[in-house]
Amino acid sequence: MSGEADALEGIAGRALELVGEDTIVGLGTGRAATAFVRALGAAVAAGMRVRGVPTSDTTAALARELGIELLTLAEAGRIDATFDGADEVSPALDLIKGYGGALVREKIVAASSERLVILVGDEKIVSSIGQRGKLPVEVVPFGMALCERELAALGCTPTLRATDGETYVTDNQNFILDCAVEPIGDPVGLERRILAIPGVLGTGLFVGMADVVLVQEGDQVRAMERA
């Protein structure tokens, strides 16, 4: 394959093989997820019957453009499988997500799914979760000062996410604090401590949630599965 676009197309095609006919599919956010949505749209145009639950407004707009029927989470109930990307994947298939800003909706959709399938390039594989040094945390704007103070006290120095000089606002109308972290020895414990801070809505830690991780390695796709 000649480049990133070709690689994403390849891994999206492999993921499409895991989509059952007449199922409900969670549609993730980010570059790999976008490639999957495009592949799914082509399959729908060719006659596949599938409905999707998007994790962001951006993904919803793309899916509609491609003719994929969308459902709300309430309409869908239980989702058969969600296909999404990740920013880090550990050997235990724990994840950090949220660099794209949709972490809370992504986690809600993933938790509503029978299976979570993650699509990544091999550069996203880490030996220890937190290795890339950033953990996104979505917070209610009113609670910003408290959240910043308490996150710093936990050793997770926060930086308010901004885009083009403007504070980044999620689809939920909240802010994201990108927290500086070292490799995380106890992700479950850290998640619990962060979620205990009033004003925190969610973190980018997805622990024990992924069932399959498809990894693009050159021209090949390797599947990692939860034991």
From first to last of the 227 residues of the chain, give the pLDDT tens digit: 445 666 788 899 999 999 999 999 999 999 999 999 999 999 999 999 999 999 999 999 999 999 999 999 999 999 999 999 999 999 999 999 999 999 999 999 999 999 999 999 999 999 999 999 999 999 999 999 999 999 999 999 999 999 999 999 999 999 999 999 999 999 999 999 999 999 999 999 999 999 999 999 988 999 999 87
Domain ranges of the chain: 4-122+207-217, 134-204
The token duo for 154 is 């936990």
The token duo for 163 is 């885009």
Q: What dotted CATH number matches 134-204?
A: 3.30.70.260
Instruction: Give me the active site residues, please.
Output: 106
Q: Where are the alpha helices (DSSP H) in the chain?
A: 4-16, 31-45, 57-65, 73-76, 103-111, 144-153, 187-195
Q: What dotted CATH number matches 4-122+207-217?
A: 3.40.50.1360
